[in-house]
Structures are given as C-alpha cells and as structure tokens.
A = this chain, B = another copy of it.
Amino acid sequence: MQDGHVTPSALDALAALLRDDMTGVNRLIVERMQSPVPMIPEIAGHIVAAGGKRLRPLLTLAAARMCGYGGDHHIGLAACVEFIHTATLLHDDVVDESALRRGRASANALFGNQASVLVGDFLFSRSFQLMVDAGSLEVLAILANAAATIAEGEVLQLTTANDPATTEAAYYDVIRGKTAALFAAAARVGAVIAGRPKADADALDAYGMNLGLAFQIVDDVLDYDADQAALGKTVGDDFREGKATLPVLLAYARGGEADRAFWRRCIEDEQQTDADLAHAIDLLRSSGALADSAKAARDRADDAKAALKSLDADPVYLETLAGIADFCVERAF
C-alpha cells in the first residue's frame, strides 16, 4: 500500500494451488446463476464477470484442502460464499448509490435499484440452495449466522454514517459484521466439512476474521490513498458518502476545532466543495491517521498469521495463507 504496486504473488500462488477446484467453482457459479428469467443471468453475469479476486471462495477451498478434505462439497460451498458476497455487493451499491463497481458501471447504475435489490435476493436464495446441497446442518448454521451478522454490520454502518465522532469500537463492530464475518465463515466451513475438531475450525475462523478486518481497513485507507485507475473504483467515494471510516475517525479525534468543523461539514452535513477531498487527504496524512490506519491493518494481518500457528495442516497452504495476509495489507489495487 505504502509502496505502490505490489505483485500479488501470494494470491497468485493460492489460485495456482487451487486451480482445478476454482475451475469447478467458476463453472458452478455460472451454472447456478441461470434462471428462466433472462434479467437474472444478465445482471448476475455483469457483476460476476467483472471478476474480483475471488478471495472468499479461495479461503473455503484452501481451508478444506489443507484440512485434508477429500470430497467435493467444498466446491459448492465456495460458490455459495461467492454468491453471498455478490448479493451483498448488489445491495451495497443500491445503498451507496455507487456509480462504479470493480472498475465498471455498477449494476444499479445500469439496471436500476429495483433489479439490483431483487437479483441480490435471488443470489442470496441461491446461496442457501447451494448450502443445502452440501448436506450439513452445522455448515448451514455457520453460513446463516454469518449472513445475519453481515446484515447487522451493514445496518450499524448506516447508523454510524455521517458521524466523524464514531468510536473505533463502533467502527470495528461495523467491519467485523459487514466484511470479516464472511471471511471467517468461509474459512471455518472448510475445516467443518473436513471433519476437523473445533479447535481447528476456531483457528481458521480467527484467521478469516482478522484477514477480513485487515482487508476492510486497507480498503478504507485506499479510498483516500490510491490511484483511481488501479483501485477500480472512484477515489473519495467514502468521503463523498460521508462514511465514518477509520482514517476519518482518527483524524477527527486528533484534530483541533477548525479541523473538526471541516470534518463535520464534509462528513456530517455532506457539504463539500471540489477542493475538500484534497484537503481531507492532507489532514489524514499530516495527522498520521492514514499511517496509523495502515498500521492497524498490519496488526490484524499479523493476528491472522498467528492464528495459523496452532493448525496441524499442509505447510504449503499454511505458508500461502500467511502470504495472503501480507498481500492484503500490501495490495495497491
């Protein structure tokens, strides 16, 4: 992040380890987004084709394989995890009124809010059908709980939006729900279908949870600190939407009266001029808020790596997952 473009070697390495499984996941995703209602594959295809890193399904596949799973339910569960993620993206774009998603026009901008809400509901339902196919009530409980936690995090985010005085604790509650809960569940279910003891499932859960926190903090930093083309979304989106992300909270807490008035006008009142984003970035840098946010992400990535220590699992995967944690805090795209 601080170093500009970093080669995502750990992500490439993980994708290479799981190439055949991932081919199966991608095939299943395309197969299960079909419907006799043409608008559904059209919209779902738009967002699925835009790609993304497929990090969440890779976590499920890796967790299952490193735990010695020999069946094929991990393919369906990985597709399920990606469907949950895709459904939340569609609903987030409605909520955020975003114009860009993964560098392309967002589904709601192209197809309207109504279609985005309903196709999101369809993909969410499909994800539950895929879970049922895996035939494990324990896995169903984990993913249903994650889905509820995601929604809670998203609603909490609405209530903290536009409040630069949001506490760090509330910020972490939001991102634990909206982002990290799915990372945690994605990793946990791999251990569960492999029949591993609870301690191993807990370790992978803690890895996913901390990885998700690091991932989201970095995302929030990049919104103020990245090259727009490389980011694939509009820089300053969070600022324009008045989101109370970690960099803003820290800068607000450290600011004098004039700085606080600036943040309240921009974040609370959403009264912004063209020059305000540049001034915000200056404040985020000079106060150390951006650097300390990046440091917080680094700490969560280290926690993720530490959670792997107790796992008796394939060392190639252990090393690659540790690399993924580093990748998440170093990514510049």
Contacts and interface: CB of A to CB of B under 8 A. Distances in A.
Contact of A148 (B129, B137, B152, B154): B129
A180 interface: no
Interface in A28-42: 35-40
Contacts of A141: 129, 132
Contact of A144 (B38, B117, B132, B155): B132
A278 interface: no
A121 interface: yes
A145 B127 CA distance: 11
A124 interface: yes
Given A35-B152, A144-B128, A159-B39, A95 B122 contact: no
Q: How many copies does the complex hold?
A: 2
A27 B114 CA distance: 33
Interface string A73-113: 00000000000000010010011000000000000000001
A95 B147 CA distance: 22
Nearest to A174: B37
Nearest to A144: B128
B124 A158 contact: no
A119 interface: yes
